[in-house]
Structure 1
Amino acid sequence: MRRVIAGFVLLVTGLLFALPANGQESPSPVEVRQFDIDLGADFVTHAELTLPTGDSAPFPLVILLHGSGPYDMDATVSTPEGEVLSANFRRIAESLAANGIAALRFNKRGVLGDGAYDFAQIQASDLDRLTADATTVFETARTLTDIDPDAIYLYGWSEGAVVASNVAANLGDTVAGLILQGSPNGNISTVLQYQHIELGLEYLHTITDINNDNLLSLDEIAAIPPVSGAVSLMPAFYLYDYTSTPQNPLINSYTDSNGDGMIAIDDELRPTIEMFIANYDQFVTQTDASWAVGELLAQSGIPTLVLHGSMDGWVPVETAAELHEAASQSVTVSIYDGLGHALSPTDDRALDSFRDIDQAPLDDIAAWINAR
């Protein structure tokens, strides 16, 4: 075991072959090194460095920063039954390594691995804490063998894009560049407006309310598909009571303001959502780190590649244009037709689930870095 600045490294190395999007074996072998990083505040995370093989070290490096939620280093998304829908950070890492670029992944604060979590650490993970964690990972990466400390990029998905932008604004051109996937910009309430009002209510009206009476019953609510876009979060947010269980589901007594055991979409649910969005700042911890990604990009001036799917059901695609307008000299935007928030094929924004990332953005990421 050897010490590094921000943690300790248990070197467990291996050799594997990178798999492209079609799952066929690639002739490009990659090397894997596993180690731990002490993030401070009583949490040590497990990390994995994926390296190209060959004698061209030191390599440029991309650090992958998670979206919101307790993600492992692979950004694994699973169904409630345990079926893995995607592990896109692993796919990105292997694609980068096959193109001569190293990648560093780590478990988000509170994620212990093998399905175990430290919920106190997850609860403490506000934007300031996540920015500090990413900074620690960045500083650790600069000390790693075979990594070019002047060619380290930050890749942020969704909330991770906000984290990456804050780190870059703090560190300046020590960061070689940013890749931002599905980035929000500004107050998160605008994202909730898009998810729950623009997309969610429309879906509930046209799909969930099967008898078109503008009322949602428990049976209709139970038919909302899980792990299928932002609409799948609405039952827990607004429709089920906090005392509900899978065995004994109950209508949310706050949303059901007239107590009839049904939720009126326009007269009860819409006002509840609007109230929540209007008062969102009262429900979250106030931080020094900023959600105004456009302002952060203008401040840092760091080369940035913005990736956004035209069918993103979590962050509106128009946000990408906002980021370019805020820092047009340093921001390059790529929009992908038919792809969603995970840059996977998506037919319905309201049901934008996180499947395998498409090959086109993987190719573009590697080409952008290798052209620098």
Structure 2
Amino acid sequence: MRSFICACCLILGLGLPLFAQVDYHEEPVALPLAGDSLRGSLLVPSPAKTPGPLVLIIAGSGPTDRNGNNPMMQNNSLKLLAEALAAEGIASLRYDKRGIGQSAGAFTAEAELRFEDFAGDAAAWAQQLRQDRRFGKLFILGHSEGSLLGMLAARQAGADGFISVAGAGAPADSLIRQQLMNQPPMIQQAAFPALDSLAAGHLVKQVNPMLFALLRPSIQPYMISWFRYNPQLEIQKLRMPVLIVQGTTDLQVAEADARKLAKANPKATLALIPGMNHILKEAPADQQQNFATYSQPGLPLAPGLLHEITGFIWDNR
């Protein structure tokens, strides 16, 4: 059991803060898969307002675990988000993807992995959570690549609301091209034709050694499956309340991406968080200083983020 104190209001005339203490407890949970299980952490506020809202948090791309960390960088962004939601009386489930962290046993060989596998896992988590009578409305929150996964899972599982945080507004191949624009021309000239091929559904047989980490043969089937989805088309299909959250100092996903998503789903709410970067921390636009926050797990969430998310959830609970 852990305890948080959150300011509720100021007592007028005295200028003294009035605090409400919200406790929560953490429960280990598992989702059975063929051969093994996915593992996650369920944070439940106590005393719970039964049936209270529940948020399924989906991490971004690569070897990112339930806390928003990977072997190269520790920032605890998703852990901080889950704890902040619990402090506001909102339960959440975050989990390690197959092959990552405590879900390492649910490994799928890279050459066999498809984007739909991750979307299906998220939908299965949502369907399992639906069976827990402690909770009412189910919201799916996807961060970065998890945004697109969340769109697919939200439709499959019939979620009550969807939250995109730092989600791309164009197919993944377009995002990769944009990121490669900062590379030397020779890198771009080698990469762009290969990306064209993958976007068309064709494997690249001869990979330039300079691009092997990005376009190695074993990852190409996954990239093909990923590239076929357009986030603008997928968010357009959602018939549930939608919140689109984007930081203004995000160096990986631009504000324009969020606006594309909002245009595709005119009923969605768009929330721009001033000074928030890709890992949900407050950071300047300067690249070196911005990326330095990626390895500082002690930094708090960017101001304004929690307000937007909790406001959306309570308005639609």
- Structure 2-normalised TM-score? 0.78
Q: Is the contact between residue 64 and residue 104 of structure 1 (CA under 8 Å) also seen in structure 2?
A: yes
Distance 1:363 1:52, change over 3 A: same
| Counterpart selection for 1:306 from 237, 244, 247 | 244
Indicate the larger mover: 62-71 or 181-190.
181-190
Report the alpha carbon displacement of residue 122 of structure 1 after superposing the two structures with TM: 5.4
| Counterpart selection for 2:98 from 106, 109, 114 | 109
Report the alpha carbon displacement of residue 179 of structure 1 after superposing the two structures with TM: 0.7
Q: Which residue of 1 aligns with 2:28?
A: 34
The 2-side partners of 1:168 and 1:30 are apart by 26
Q: Is the contact between residue 66 and residue 160 of structure 1 (CA under 8 Å) also seen in structure 2?
A: yes
Secondary structure of the residue aligned to 2:140 is strand
Q: Which residue of 1 aligns with 2:234?
A: 296
| Counterpart selection for 1:333 from 248, 267, 270 | 270
Distance 1:275 1:166, change over 3 A: same
Q: Which residue of 2 aligns with 1:139?
A: 127
The 1-side partners of 2:194 and 2:287 are apart by 20
Distance 1:139 1:27, change over 3 A: same
Secondary structure of the residue aligned to 1:308 is strand
Q: Which residue of 1 aligns with 2:189?
A: 271
Q: Is the contact between residue 26 and residue 41 of structure 2 (CA under 8 Å) also seen in structure 1?
A: yes
Report the alpha carbon displacement of residue 35 of structure 1 after superposing the two structures with TM: 2.0
Q: Which residue of 2 aligns with 1:58?
A: 51
Distance 1:349 1:299, change over 3 A: farther
Q: Is the contact between residue 306 and residue 334 of structure 1 (CA under 8 Å) also seen in structure 2?
A: yes
Report the alpha carbon displacement of residue 310 of structure 1 after superposing the two structures with TM: 1.5
| Count of paired positions | 277
Structure 1 residues 1-372: aligned runs within 5 Å: 15-18=1-4, 27-38=21-32, 40-77=33-70, 79=72, 85-113=74-102, 120-121=108-109, 124-148=112-136, 151-171=137-157, 174-197=158-181, 200-201=182-183, 265-266=184-185, 268-281=186-199, 282=203, 283-285=220-222, 286-287=224-225, 291-329=229-267, 331-348=268-285, 350-351=287-288, 352-353=290-291, 354=294, 356=299, 357-372=301-316
Q: Is the contact between residue 4 and residue 22 of structure 2 (CA under 8 Å) also seen in structure 1?
A: yes
Report the alpha carbon displacement of residue 269 of structure 1 after superposing the two structures with TM: 2.9
Aligned CA-pair RMSD: 2.7
User: Deviation per CA, 1:68-109, whole angstroms, max 9, x where unpaired?
Assistant: 012222122454xxxx63112211111111111100111111
Report the alpha carbon displacement of residue 33 of structure 1 after superposing the two structures with TM: 1.2
User: Deviation per CA, 1:191-222, whole angstroms, max 9, x where unpaired?
Assistant: 1122120xx23xxxxxxxxxxxxxxxxxxxxx
User: Deviation per CA, 1:168-202, whole angstroms, max 9, x where unpaired?
Assistant: 2334xx311111011113321211122120xx23x
For structure 1, the 5+ residue unaligned runs are: 1-14, 202-264
Q: Is the contact between residue 191 and residue 316 of structure 1 (CA under 8 Å) also seen in structure 2?
A: no
Aligned AA for 1:344? K
Report the alpha carbon displacement of residue 31 of structure 1 after superposing the two structures with TM: 1.5
Larger Rg: 1
Report the alpha carbon displacement of residue 145 of structure 1 after superposing the two structures with TM: 4.2
Distance 1:123 1:93, change over 3 A: farther
Q: Is the contact between residue 308 and residue 336 of structure 1 (CA under 8 Å) also seen in structure 2?
A: yes
Distance 1:364 1:164, change over 3 A: same
Distance 1:28 1:321, change over 3 A: same
Aligned AA for 1:45? L
Q: Is the contact between residue 172 and residue 227 of structure 2 (CA under 8 Å) also seen in structure 1?
A: no
Secondary structure of the residue aligned to 2:142 is strand
The 1-side partners of 2:67 and 2:227 are apart by 25
Secondary structure of the residue aligned to 1:46 is strand
Q: Is the contact between residue 127 and residue 289 of structure 1 (CA under 8 Å) also seen in structure 2?
A: no
Q: Which residue of 1 aligns with 2:214?
A: none
Report the alpha carbon displacement of residue 276 of structure 1 after superposing the two structures with TM: 3.7
The 1-side partners of 2:264 and 2:189 are apart by 33
Report the alpha carbon displacement of residue 167 of structure 1 after superposing the two structures with TM: 1.7
User: Deviation per CA, 1:103-147, whole angstroms, max 9, x where unpaired?
Assistant: 011111112439x67664555442110111011100110112411
Q: Which residue of 2 aligns with 1:240?
A: none
For structure 2, the 5+ residue unaligned runs are: 7-18, 204-219
